[in-house]
Chains A and B, each alone.
Chain A
Amino acid sequence: MTTTPPAPLLSAQALEVAFPGRRGAATARAVDGVDLDIRPGEIVALVGESGCGKTTLARSLLGLVPPTAGRVTFGGEPLDYAGRALKAYRKRVQLVLQDPSGSLNPRHTVYDAVAEGLRIHGYTGDEGAAVSGALARAGLRPPERFLLRYPHELSGGQRQRVVIAGALVLEPELIVADEPVASLDASVRGEILALLLKLRDELGLSALVVTHDLGLAWNIADRVAVMYLGRIVETGDVEQILTAPRHPYTQALLSVLPEADGEPVILTGEPPDPSKVPSGCRFHARCQVLASGEAERAGVADACRTKDLPVLEGGGRTQVACHWVAAETARAV
């Protein structure tokens, strides 16, 4: 074990992204204060339901969505949103989207799709060799068989591999994958996830995987961050968070999984609206601990309703943003 953890590769610091409401509606605070670090060679899973802001956070880490406050740093340097510097950044951090059929231009062959990145950045080497190399690394062998095919001639898993090859060809240091296997068949998921792990082991590629699937986090991630309504509510090592969650939201999410033991905590209502962020702890309106009176007994019910929680640190430490957990921990000490 190293005494000092390596410096983070990609880091969000006090990041906020807000979208103005349409026609005078309230602003939607999609990301409302997030610190998140991703270290080299690490796979971090960003987990949450729809509307929690995980997709927006991923895109602002990529520089596709400029933040309204806070900043993103890569390799210690803050992101420069000016044209040339941003383009150079793109070579180092790449994106893999959810829907492989939509991610590929139906009129471009596999060769064109993978070579696109090289052409944008003016690659001077042997384009054909780079494309074939990337396809082989993504598991499509022999690459020559696929060069002239169109996306509609490939299966879902093969299309996703083409997208991954297109990302790999630029030799990035980090990949942001937004629901990489959600649209794929169950028997194909494992192969794509195994590929991401292999890339981490062989190339030292870090990854930020955005997903709603906790099983996926268990399968390949080192660390997990659980997001709710624009904030990270719990973060830490996968083994710890997914087997012994402390935040009520994480506990509820894990309890409703089909193979979970015990009584499932099914939260009522819909995932919340980022334009109507509740006061105090954002989860208090649906929190089962508050509803059951536990919070009252611990004396934190008022705090839950009125006092906002601090932004969790981005590093690897296990942290929870919850008044009740804090009170319980203080009592146990």
Chain B
Amino acid sequence: MTAVKTESVPKPETGQPLLDVRNLHVTYGSGASAVPAVRGVDLRVEAGRKLGIAGESGCGKSTLALALLRLLPASATLSGEILLDGEDVLAMKGGRLRAVRWAGASIVFQGAMHSLNAVHRIGDQIAEPILLHSKASPAAARRRAGELLEQVGLPAARADAYPHELSGGQRQRVMIAMALACDPRLIIADEPTTALDVMIQAQILRLIEQLVSDQDLGLIMISHDLAVLSDTCDRLAVMYAGRVVEEGPADQVYENARHPYGSALSAAFPRIGDPASRHAPRGLPGDPPDPSALPSGCTFHPRCTAALDSCATEDQVLRPAGPSRRAACVLVEPEATAAPVPPDGAEEARSTS
């Protein structure tokens, strides 16, 4: 491994999560035209753990991903706390923020196909963050870029290629290599496989899993496909209209969602071999809500098959729905355990493979 010194992000003390988001609010615009994209989200990711965020268009998941590194446009107002290894990203000043971006956490962007600059070679684009964050020489940066390409399954010789010479799957690998360039502790993957074929998607997901476990990174994966998330991640959070409406161990949330939206989302992609979904596609009436015109009460009530009269007027907060599970639905009976929700992932580490 070529020695490239990046600005160090201090190791966490034990017990402190890698990422701790507390009551995050993100609003675009101001005054009368303010659009609340994220309305109070709490999340936690431990080092080496994988969190999946599921949701559709307009639910705020991409805004959340960009907010974690303060990559939103200037018109966006953020409040709350984003603690990356104990440091609040929202309180960081320019220099420290730039140092943390990419070296503390990095993003694999949505639409990776178009996130690559078409007139630069991919080797140069991978080397760019290395040069920005460390005092490495261009030659050392290029060597490191070659190593990263090998790590993601591309021959180092491809570093001289231009993006249009690569296929979709190969470009996505380049994006992952870029995200790893500065040895971040956390990777945020925003819809990393959405436009890809099933087989390429499987290759990319396997690559991500392998890299995350080899280097003990934290992973936040965002997708609208609950099945993919449940396969790859340890924990799953379902977002709707800017809030987390369900959260818990991935396989439990996927197979047995307590929130009606969660179960609708998982039913949208049927299990092959399940006779119940033969000739019976399940969907929700209506459309995902427009963030600038959210319904009153529980924002899901217009589309909910199990809605009560009170749902139109009373908003719901996350309530306990099982061991380390939470769901924001009036129909979820609070469990008898009065104990607060335990830190995410602590027990799951041993039980999940």
Contacts and interface: CB of A to CB of B under 8 A. Distances in A.
B91 interface: no
A222 B170 CA distance: 35
Contacts of B332: none
Interface in A41-73: 49-50
Contacts of B226: 186
A220 B272 CA distance: 12
Contacts of B199: 49, 252-253, 256, 266-267, 271
A302 interface: no
Contact of B203 (A157, A214, A266): A266
Which of A194, A264, A270 is packed against the most chain B CB atoms within 10 Å?
A270
Interface string B159-174: 0000000011110000
Nearest to A244: B273
B352 interface: no
A256 B202 contact: yes
Contact of A187 (B168, B198, B268, B273): B268
B279 A266 contact: no
Given A214-B272, A256-B199, A258-B231, A187 B265 contact: yes
B312 interface: no
Contacts of A239: 278
A193 interface: yes
Nearest to A221: B279
B346 interface: no
A185 interface: yes
Interface string A232-258: 000000110011000000001110111
Chain A binding surface, main DSSP class: helix
A238 B277 CA distance: 12
Contacts of A243: 272-273
B277 A187 contact: no
A215 B281 CA distance: 10
B281 A219 contact: yes
Interface string A256-273: 111110001011101100
Nearest to B230: A258
Given A157-B287, A185-B57, A185-B224, A212 B279 contact: no
A91 interface: no
**Taking each of A156, A190, A257, A267, which has the highest tally of chain B beta carbons within 10 Å of its own beta carbon?**
A190
Contact of B227 (A197, A218, A238, A259): A259
B198 A186 contact: no
Interface in B244-288: 261, 264-265, 267-274, 277-285, 287-288
A217 to B, nearest CB: 8
B203 A215 contact: no
Interface string A158-187: 100000000000000000000000000111
Range for the number of chain A residues in contact with chain B:
35 or more
A27 interface: no
Given A190-B267, A190-B284, A215-B270, A220 B279 contact: yes
Contact of A49 (B197, B227, B282): B197
A98 to B, nearest CB: 11
B220 to A, nearest CB: 18
B183 interface: no
Nearest to B203: A266
A92 interface: no
B206 interface: yes
Given A258-B231, A266-B203, A270-B169, A185 B288 contact: yes
B56 A187 contact: yes
A215 B274 CA distance: 10
Contacts of B261: 187
B272 A254 contact: yes
Contacts of B197: 49-50, 212, 271
A43 B56 CA distance: 28
Nearest to B265: A186
Interface residues of B, number: 45
Contacts, number: 124
Interface string A201-230: 000000000001111001110000000000
A141 to B, nearest CB: 12
Contacts of B280: 219
Contacts of A50: 168, 197
B200 interface: yes
A30 to B, nearest CB: 16
Contacts of B170: 270
A188 B167 contact: no
B272 A215 contact: yes
A90 interface: no
B225 interface: yes
B272 A242 contact: yes
Contacts of A260: 272
A161 to B, nearest CB: 11
Contacts of A49: 197-200
B38 to A, nearest CB: 18
B228 interface: yes
Contacts of A271: 197, 199-200
Contacts of A253: 198-199
Interface string B137-150: 00000000000000
Contact of A188 (B198, B227, B228, B284): B284
20 contacts: A49-B200, A157-B287, A186-B226, A187-B265, A187-B284, A187-B303, A189-B281, A191-B281, A191-B284, A219-B270, A219-B279, A243-B273, A252-B199, A256-B201, A257-B198, A257-B272, A259-B271, A266-B203, A271-B197, A271-B199
Given A219-B278, A256-B198, 20 more contacts: A50-B168, A50-B197, A155-B287, A155-B288, A185-B288, A186-B224, A186-B226, A190-B283, A191-B283, A197-B281, A218-B278, A219-B280, A242-B273, A256-B199, A258-B227, A259-B271, A259-B272, A264-B202, A271-B199, A271-B200
The 9 lowest CB-CB distance pairs between A and B, nearest first, are: A190-B283, A193-B281, A256-B202, A258-B231, A258-B227, A155-B287, A187-B284, A191-B283, A185-B56
